[in-house]
């Protein structure tokens, strides 16, 4: 029988194609490279892959600027390679999710080429065009995430166009129903090819306020980090008018109606708004909107037991019947071992990597894990001369951009470029990454990689970890502790994660553990009567 609910509690492995595996040695990872490594991906025990954009693109934002939504970029291969990817992933029981960038296209897209020709052509209204202020300035104060105003002057059309990201990423005008239909038709092209789901890039940015009202200023004490450079003025505004507009819901419902015609296909919306938790709830309410939304809340610089607990509790309270999807890393943020890990000690970094993966995979929800997390990779050092990310180039050195988490996967420690490519890689392989390569870790039963595999195998057998409810408890200020339980079967387990680098002895008080169920790969705790001893960065699971 087909499990249409496969996505609930699924582990989704994010592949960043440029840096995964280069099959033809031009220095850039490609789809045949992914296909060569499907057995490796299957060995991780993940349920699905999310492939970052591999569609035709001038690569100004490395694929998040698409010029043809139905073609694979030649640098990555061709449609046949992608069809093989779908077929061979499916043969291994792995679902395939594609990245859909709907809010904007590349400025090289045929739609934009036509739209910019005049103010009265067929596609004149497909993007967000506006006249300058009488003084010639942009129509309002909206800002681009990547720096500067969100408006770019077009000298031919003699109007400004909106771009929330790079000026080579013009924003589509979703108020035009033809745009919505064209976008949905592109999606259906891929659904017909058998893809199992969509990661919806920047989905909150589809609509804008048609009155083009100015965004209000944000007081200093509310300027949240989320990876923004401190000198990026984007952090100085509330983005009420160019982001998360109410019309989004109507479009999301159209999108869901399309997905419903392809049973088992799933949507995962990337939600970044002023009140992301409320937006996530709104976007997943009932069963006519998105299946799940992607949370940025664990991609922050700071973390602590209190922070994780209050974030998860607040989201859980807001969500109701909505389904969350967690991530501790992706292609946009510093790698988690460096971002959260306090330690430079190799053993502690390893323990930390294992514990964080187990922790995030034990929360209620689905999880996106980023390539390289299974190796415990640290953030790569990328010299200014080697920078590729336009966002990093713009704000260097207060913000170094996103290249440090995008460097190539280390496959084999003795090979040139750690086995990623014989050619010069588009980003250098970090000098410390070869010692974390897949071949070395495969030989070591205690490696982060083998622990990850064993943990996933163990987790996949636990229905309560995949779909149970969650309830936090106070145990110790350095220990994140919660129950997962099934209200019907009354199965209840306790999950504990020591976020500190100190071994701890904790009195469990009233909590009566029936038996320890920690998987052997993460056995770093012992319990005697009601005294729990848990190692530094240790994990503990018990049946209650």
Q: Which residues are catalytic, by number?
A: 201, 270
Rule CB under 6 A: say whether 389 interacts with ligand TEU.
no
Check residue 509 and give left, alpha or beta (phi > 0: left; psi -120 to 50: alpha).
Answer: left
Interface mask toward ligand TEU for 214-253; x: CB under 6 A: ------------xx--------------------------
Smallest separation (angstroms) from ligand TEU to the CB of 198: 14
Q: Which partner, ligand TEU, Ca ion, none, binds residue 30 by CB below 5 to 8 Å per kind?
A: Ca ion
Indicate the residue among 198 and 409 with the shorter CB distance to Ca ion: 409
Indicate the residue among 24 and 412 with the shorter CB distance to Ca ion: 24
CB atoms within 10 A of CB 250: 12
Chain centroid to CA 57: 20
d(CA 210, CA 336): 39
Indicate the residue among 77 and 170 with the shorter CB distance to ligand TEU: 170
Extract the tokens encoding 161: 């166009």
Indicate the residue among 33 and 227 with the shorter CB distance to ligand TEU: 227
Smallest separation (angstroms) from ligand TEU to the CB of 203: 9
- Contacting Ca ion within 256-295 (CB under 5 A): none
Indicate the residue among 24 and 526 with the shorter CB distance to Ca ion: 24
**How, if at all, do strands 479-485 and 492-498 pair?**
antiparallel
Indicate the residue among 23 and 88 with the shorter CB distance to Ca ion: 23
d(CA 111, CA 346): 51
Indicate the residue among 29 and 139 with the shorter CB distance to Ca ion: 29
Rule CB under 6 A: say whether 272 interacts with ligand TEU.
yes
Listed in sequence order, the residues at least 6 apart from 212 whose beta carbon sits closer than 8 Å to its beta carbon are 130, 139, 140, 241
Rule CB under 6 A: say whether 165 interacts with ligand TEU.
yes
Rule CB under 5 A: say whether 244 interacts with Ca ion.
no
Q: Which partner, Ca ion, ligand TEU, none, binds residue 69 by CB below 5 to 8 Å per kind?
A: none
Smallest separation (angstroms) from ligand TEU to the CB of 95: 20
Q: Which partner, Ca ion, ligand TEU, none, binds residue 101 by CB below 5 to 8 Å per kind?
A: ligand TEU
Q: Which partner, ligand TEU, Ca ion, none, binds residue 196 by CB below 5 to 8 Å per kind?
A: none
**How, if at all, do strands 266-270 and 292-294 pair?**
parallel
Q: Which partner, Ca ion, ligand TEU, none, binds residue 163 by CB below 5 to 8 Å per kind?
A: none
d(CA 27, CA 445): 31
d(CA 320, CA 288): 15
- Contacting ligand TEU within 131-160 (CB under 6 A): 145
DSSP tag of 208: -
Site for Ca ion (CB under 5 A): how many residues? 5
DSSP tag of 461: T
d(CA 411, CA 440): 9
In terms of Cβ atoms closer than 10 Å to its own Cβ (0-12, 13-18, 19+), residue 230 is exposed
> Contact at 8 Å (CB) between 149 and 83?
no
Site for ligand TEU (CB under 6 A): how many residues? 12
Indicate the residue among 270 and 430 with the shorter CB distance to ligand TEU: 270
Rule CB under 5 A: say whether 61 interacts with Ca ion.
no
Sign of CA dihedral 460, 466, 471, 476: positive
Task: Pick one of 202, 336, 409, 464: the residue that binds ligand TEU (CB under 6 A).
Answer: 202
d(CA 26, CA 425): 8
Extract the tokens encoding 144: 């681009």
Of the candidates 287, 308, 290, the one whose C-alpha atom is nearest the C-alpha of residue 299 is 308
d(CA 29, CA 77): 10
- Contacting ligand TEU within 292-351 (CB under 6 A): 331-332
- Contacting ligand TEU within 59-98 (CB under 6 A): 61, 64
How big is the chain by its Cα radius of gyration, in Å?
A: 23
Listed in sequence order, the residues at least 6 apart from 298 whose beta carbon sits closer than 8 Å to its beta carbon are 308, 311, 326, 327, 328, 360
Smallest separation (angstroms) from ligand TEU to the CB of 201: 5
> Contact at 8 Å (CB) between 480 and 497?
yes
397 preceded by a cis bond (ω within 30 of 0) = yes
- Contacting Ca ion within 17-46 (CB under 5 A): 22, 24, 26, 28, 30
Q: Which partner, ligand TEU, Ca ion, none, binds residue 294 by CB below 5 to 8 Å per kind?
A: none
Q: Which partner, ligand TEU, Ca ion, none, binds residue 206 by CB below 5 to 8 Å per kind?
A: none
Smallest separation (angstroms) from ligand TEU to the CB of 426: 15
Task: Pick one of 10, 75, 96, 101: the residue that binds ligand TEU (CB under 6 A).
Answer: 101
Q: Which residues bind ligand TEU (CB under 6 A)?
A: 61, 64, 101, 145, 165, 201-202, 226-227, 272, 331-332
Q: Which residues bind Ca ion (CB under 5 A)?
A: 22, 24, 26, 28, 30
């Amino acid at each position: 029988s087909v499990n249409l609910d496969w996505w609930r509690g699924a582990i989704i492995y994010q592949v960043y194609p440029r840096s995964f595996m280069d099959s033809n040695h031009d220095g850039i990872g490609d789809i045949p490279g992914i296909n060569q490594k499907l057995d490796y991906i299957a060995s991780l025990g993940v349920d699905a892959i999310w492939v970052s954009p591999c569609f035709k693109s001038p690569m100004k934002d490395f694929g998040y600027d698409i010029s043809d939504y139905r073609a694979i970029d030649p640098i990555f291969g061709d449609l046949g390679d992608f069809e093989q990817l779908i077929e061979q992933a499916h043969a291994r029981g792995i679902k395939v999710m594609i990245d859909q960038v709907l809010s904007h296209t590349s400025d090289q897209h045929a739609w934009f080429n036509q739209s910019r020709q005049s103010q009265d052509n067929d596609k004149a209204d497909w993007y967000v065009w506006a006249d300058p202020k009488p003084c010639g300035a942009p129509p309002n104060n909206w800002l681009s995430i990547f720096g500067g105003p969100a408006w770019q002057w077009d000298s031919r059309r003699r109007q400004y166009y909106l771009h929330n990201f790079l000026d080579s990423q013009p924003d589509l005008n979703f108020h035009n129903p033809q745009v919505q239909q064209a976008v949905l038709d592109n999606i259906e092209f891929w659904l017909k090819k058998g893809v199992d789901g969509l990661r919806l890039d920047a989905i909150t940015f589809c609509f804008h306020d048609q009155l083009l009202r100015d965004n209000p200023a944000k007081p200093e004490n509310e300027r949240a980090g989320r990876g923004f450079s401190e000198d990026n003025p984007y952090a100085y505004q509330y983005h009420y008018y160019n982001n998360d507009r109410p019309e989004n819901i109507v479009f999301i419902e159209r999108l869901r109606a399309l997905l419903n015609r392809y049973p088992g296909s799933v949507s995962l919306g990337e939600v970044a708004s002023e009140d992301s938790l409320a937006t996530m709830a709104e976007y997943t309410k009932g069963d006519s909107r998105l299946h799940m939304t992607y949370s940025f809340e664990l991609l922050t610089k700071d973390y602590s037991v209190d922070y994780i607990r209050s974030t998860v509790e607040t989201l859980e309270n807001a969500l109701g019947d909505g389904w969350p999807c967690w991530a501790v890393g992706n292609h946009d943020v510093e790698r988690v071992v460096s971002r959260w890990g306090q330690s430079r000690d190799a053993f502690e970094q390893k323990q930390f990597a294992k514990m964080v993966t187990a922790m995030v995979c034990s929360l209620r929800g689905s999880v996106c894990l980023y390539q390289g997390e299974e190796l415990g990779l640290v953030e790569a050092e990328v010299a200014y001369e080697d920078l590729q990310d336009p966002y990093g180039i713009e704000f260097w050195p207060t913000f170094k951009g996103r290249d440090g988490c995008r460097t190539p996967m280390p496959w084999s420690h003795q090979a040139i470029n750690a086995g990623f490519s014989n050619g010069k890689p588009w980003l250098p392989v970090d000098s410390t990454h070869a010692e974390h390569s897949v071949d070395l870790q495969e030989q070591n039963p205690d490696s982060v990689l083998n622990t990850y595999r064993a943990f996933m195998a163990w987790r996949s057998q636990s229905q309560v970890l995949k779909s149970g409810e969650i309830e936090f408890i106070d145990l110790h200020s350095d220990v994140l502790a919660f129950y997962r339980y099934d209200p019907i079967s009354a199965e209840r387990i306790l999950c504990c994660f020591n976020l500190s680098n100190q071994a701890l002895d904790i009195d469990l008080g009233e909590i009566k553990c029936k038996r320890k169920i920690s998987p052997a790969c993460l056995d770093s705790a012992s319990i005697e009567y009601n005294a729990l001893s848990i190692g530094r960065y240790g994990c503990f699971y018990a049946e209650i």
